[in-house]
Each structure stands twice: as structure tokens, then as C-alpha cells.
Chains A and B, each alone.
Chain A
Amino acid sequence: MSDNASYLELDTVTKLFGSVIAVSGVSFAVKLGEVHCLLGDNGAGKSTLIKLLSGVFQPTTGEIRILGAPVSLRSPRDALDRGIATVYQDLATVPLMSIARNFFIGREKTVGRGPLRRLDWDFMQRTAREEMAKMGIDIRDPRQAVGTLSGGERQCLAIARAAHFGAKILILDEPTSALGVHQAAVVLRIVARARARGLGVIFISHNVHHAYPIADRFTMLNRGKSLGTYAKSDISRDSVTEMMAGGKELIDLESELRTIGAV
């Protein structure tokens, strides 16, 4: 596989719910080692796209391809097995469980056999600590509850976990939206590390200021349609803002407010 080939492609994908068109003819592609940003306001179809990519929904028409071959992602587990891991914003970790337990939920490592088959705590604790460290976060003790971690560190755990279990493409659903400026920076740094490790990242956001610094390419969504994909070198932050729904509205609002102030 050459470095320039796309790992994951969407080809004119449409999703209908009854007569409602949630996503209409959207195409884009993600390479390994790039951050591809999906930008759009509420209702632009971002959540539906995520669910199409993570196997929760199947497209009504159009095709999803992995390494050029058409695939049907039948379930989240299926998508996971094909290297597509989705990190949902708040649904990724269990606060009352330890870091090591969280890291291995659903994929616990065991030793021994028969009734003596048991969790390999040494391995699990060591791995959780090492994988978090690779992402630039030093945890004090993998036995501590995830609830003691900050929001950014929890995102890190989810991302490190996906990377450890062989994800090629990471889908990050609004990873910074609930975070303050400092914690958002932590997450953006982790995303950069994931990219440096050769993962393709689909970064879903409605916040241009978080998305612009980290993204290599942008796909803008509006009302279920794609407004096109742009490399970062081809588009400025202002035009990105403008292209998103709300960009124009904000400019209108600004002038409207000016009028009100003038009266």
C-alpha cells in the first residue's frame, strides 16, 4: 500500500430515515497519518455520518470502501474488526472502574486455563500505563478510578485504547466540545500523537478554532450535503468559518447588532 492511498473512502453515500434525508451524496476519503476534519453545525448530518462509519447504520445508497474494496459495516464490532474505532464523547469510559479495567473492557487479557483462567493484571496495568505514556500522559497508578482523571485524560485513555487494539482509523466525536481551553489543548496534542503514529483521524467538530490547528483536510457539511473537501493549504480559517452554516449568519448577526447599537 502506498502512503498516498486512502484507507477509508465514502462514495456518494446517502442515508434516508423514511422521507427524511439525513445525509445526501457525501463523498470523502481518509488517509493514514492525516487528520481529516468534518465540520458542520448541529443538524448538518455529522452524527449520522459517524454512525454510518462505525457500523451502527448502513447507507441507503452509495458505498463505503476500505483500501479500495467495498465493505458493509454491519455492527460497531464489525467496524472495529476492520480497524475503524469510534471514540464517543462521554460514552467511552466508566468512571468508577480503574484505568486498567477500563483500558481492557471487552478485550480483557487472561492467563491460565479452565477455571483458573484469570485476568493478567500485571500485563493489563503495565500496558495501560505504557500506552497512556505513549500518548503523552503519565498516570500515577493504573489502579486508580477513571473518575479521578480529567476530561482530556479520559479522551486520551479512549484513544490510546483504540490505538493499542489495532485501530487504523479513529473517529473522534466532538472530542473537545465539553472541555475547557486547557483540556482541549491536551486532546489536540493527543490527536497529533495519534497522527504521528500513523493513524488516520476523523475529527468531528463544530468548533473551527479547535479543528483548524490540527486538521490536514476539511470536509464541510451543511444540511446533510458536503460543501467539498479542502486541503488546509487551500483554505484559510476565515473561509472555513464562513463556509460553515453560521459563518454567514454570524456576519449577518454582526451587522444586525451594529444596526441595533446605532439606533
Chain B
Amino acid sequence: MTVQQAMGDERVQSISTWRLLLGRPELGAVAGTFLVFMFFLTVAGDSGMFSARGTLSFLDVAAQVGILAAAAALLMIAGEFDLSIGSMIGFAGIVIAIPAVEWGWPLWACILLAFATACVVGFINGYLTVRTGLPSFIVTLASLFVLRGLTLALTRALTRLTVVSGLGDLAKEDWLAPFFSGYVFRGLFQWMGSLGWLQMRSDGTPLAPGIPMAIVWWMVLTGVFTWILMQTRFGNWIFSSGGDPVAARNLGVPVQRVKILLFMGTALAATLLATIQVLDAGSADTLRGQQKEFEAIIAVVIGGTLLTGGYGSAIGAAFGALIFGTVQVGIFFTGVDTDWFKVFMGSMVLIAVLFNTYVRRKVAASR
């Protein structure tokens, strides 16, 4: 009897492990990434796209989307949207640039001010959503316009321009700025260059000087958010808040607090990206970040997260962002007109949603 039971258990276990693999939300995105890489390796394998410099350039594009997508994924799993991410990027940019350039604040104080502002904006988005019961789509659509308008109006009122520049030199002397700009593993890249593994410039530095901070942040955020989702109480609260808010509340989950915190998370991620971009460019443009909210949502959806909430993953969003970056840069290397990029991404979203709906039905099908 016991032997039979053990055997029976083992058989069941192997089936369910296969089912669990099928049930992972990021399955589609991983498969998609594989296909995209196969395609570009075949079509553009010898074009320099997969050199160290080319790889870092598409990873950098992916990272910019991926930072936003990681936070947006958590929020979407909790059943809400944030359309104001893009406007928040522009807004955070001028919150850093105006005090630093116009008023002579130290750069680190401006960066901290931007993150504090993001907390307030995120809190307002979240509070309005949970208090009014309105769809977050509407609430954050409003803040999309309000923030972009504020960005333009304030910048023009204070500087009479729409671009605030002159941050480049400030960043060099600041202690906080290196966390958001420049490269890591410079020594390693230099060493690999000296061995002849990397293409070098004529002055003896490698063409790819190191790993950009955006990529580091992308990896760290994806790792931390995956940990939160899979291994913490808060992760369980996120899933239940999106899966069934009424049931979650009945069971003692502080659904409103969870959602407000996640709205603050997306605003903070937008500010992180804004800081990276502003320090990288040395200027803040009031139009920065337009349509970034959609790119983030695209990456999240391709990553297998359900628009309706309750199901998804941060790793999936990272793969979604990777597909985004690879295709955007890859199209350039293949020599195809880059106008086709958006056609491709739009189709990808549609395919991903169809695929995810199918998988979800498989996972949670009633017997």
C-alpha cells in the first residue's frame, strides 16, 4: 500500500511539475525572447549587433523600459494601472534640474527631492483610486495630463525654456550621482579589452566602457520584485489584492494600503529612470518620457501579467522589456525601415494577450 502510494505520488508530482511550468506567467515571454534572438542572430548576426557594444546598447534600451515595467508589473498584478508614468518621468526631470541649475541646490538634494515628490504623486494616484473607487485607468489618465501640463507650465514660468541644461558638470562632483549615471565593471572591461576580446578605441579604452547603471538598476529591481512576489507576505497580498480584492479584505489583507504603496512604486521607478536619463543627457526636457507608460505596459503584458490582475511576474516583465529593446535596436541593425518597429510591437502585444488568455484558462480551468 505504502509503496503504491509513493509511486502514485511520484507520478502525480511529475505531471504537476510540468503543469506548473506551463503555469508560469513568463513562459510566453521566454519563448518570445528565444524566437527574437534566433531571428536577429540569423538576419543580423554579423552586423555588430551582438558585439559587446551592440549587446549593451540593446540591453540599455531594454533596461529603460524594464525599470518601469518591473514596478508596473507589481501594480498590474494588484489589479491597477498607472498611465502617468511617462509624465512622471518628465516631471521628475525638471524637479531635479530646476533647483540644481536655477537655484544652485546641490544635486543630491535635488535627486532626493524628486524621489520625495514621486512618493507624493504616487500616493495621490493611489489614494484617489482606492477612495473614489474609480478605475485607475481614469485617475492616472488625469494625472498623465496634469503632470505633463505642470511640467511645461512650471518650466516655462521659471526658465522661459522647455529644456533645462547644464547638469553635466554638476553630476561630476556629486556623491549621489554615480549611483544613477556612468558605468560599472570599468576595470573588467578594460582588462577584457587589453586581452583583445573587445573592440578598442584609438585611445586604448574599450568601445563599451562598462555596464551602464540603467542595466544594473533593471537587474536589481527585477530581482528584488521577484523576491517580493514569490517569497514575502507582501507578495501574497499583491496577488490577492488583484485576484479578488473583496476576498482579500475579508481575510485581513490591507488592500488599499497595498495598492497605494504600489502606485508609489511606479512613480518612484519613473523618477529613477528620469534621474538616470537627466544625468546621462545633462539636461531635462519637458517632453521626456512621452509614451513610456505604454511601453511599460507592453513589456508587462508580453511578460504574461494579466491586465485584470491577480497573475503575473516581474521576471516576465523583464523578458518583455528585453524583447522590446532587442527588436528596437535589432531592426536598426537589419537595415529594415525602423518605422516597422511599432507595427511589430503592436502585433506582439496582441499575440501575447491571446497566448496568456489561453494559458490562464489551462491553469485555472475548473475540473
Q: A interface vs B, CB < 8 Å? A: 76-77, 80, 86, 88, 91-97, 101, 104-108, 110, 117-119, 140-141, 143-150
Contact = CB atoms under 8 A, between A and B. Distances in A.
Given A94-B239, A94-B243, 7 more contacts: A77-B252, A96-B243, A96-B311, A105-B252, A117-B232, A144-B20, A147-B364
Interface string B295-310: 0000000000010001
A105 B236 contact: yes
B367 A94 contact: no
Contacts of A145: 23, 363-364
Given A91-B246, A106-B252, A145-B364, A97 B16 contact: no
B364 A148 contact: yes
A76 B239 CA distance: 21
Q: What is the predominant secondary structure among interface residues of chain B facing chain A?
A: helix
Given A141-B16, A145-B363, A94 B252 contact: no
A106 B251 contact: yes
B16 A147 contact: no
Question: Majority SS of interface residues in chain A?
Answer: loop
Contacts of A108: 233, 236
Interface in B248-287: 248, 250-253
A215 to B, nearest CB: 25
Most chain A beta-carbon neighbours within 10 Å: one of B235, B248, B250:
B250
A105 B364 contact: no
B248 A106 contact: yes
B243 A97 contact: yes
B173 interface: no
A144 B248 contact: no
B13 interface: yes
A145 B23 CA distance: 9
A76 B364 contact: no
6 contacts: A86-B250, A105-B248, A119-B236, A141-B12, A143-B20, A147-B363
B232 A118 contact: yes
Contact of B239 (A93, A97, A107): A97
A104 B364 contact: no
| Most chain A CB atoms below 10 A, which of B23, B251, B311 | B251
A115 to B, nearest CB: 9
A119 B231 contact: yes
B365 to A, nearest CB: 7
Nearest to B224: A115
B240 A94 contact: yes
A94 B246 CA distance: 10
A8 B246 CA distance: 26
A203 to B, nearest CB: 19
A127 to B, nearest CB: 14
B175 to A, nearest CB: 24
Nearest to A151: B366
Determine which residue in B13, B239, B247, B253 has the highest number of CB atoms from chain A within 10 A of its CB, and name it.
B247
A135 B292 CA distance: 50
Contact of A140 (B12, B243, B360): B12
B193 to A, nearest CB: 36
Contacts of B239: 94, 96-97, 101
B19 interface: yes
A148 B13 contact: no
Contact of A118 (B231, B251, B306): B231
Contact of B247 (A91, A118, A141): A91
Contacts of A105: 236-237, 240, 247-248, 251-253
B244 interface: yes
Nearest to A81: B252
Contacts of A95: 243-244, 364
4 smallest beta-carbon distances between A and B, as pairs: A147-B364, A94-B243, A106-B252, A106-B251
Nearest to B360: A96
A91 B244 contact: yes
A140 B13 CA distance: 8
Given A77-B252, A97-B240, A148 B365 contact: yes
Interface in B203-246: 227, 230-233, 235-237, 239-240, 243-244, 246
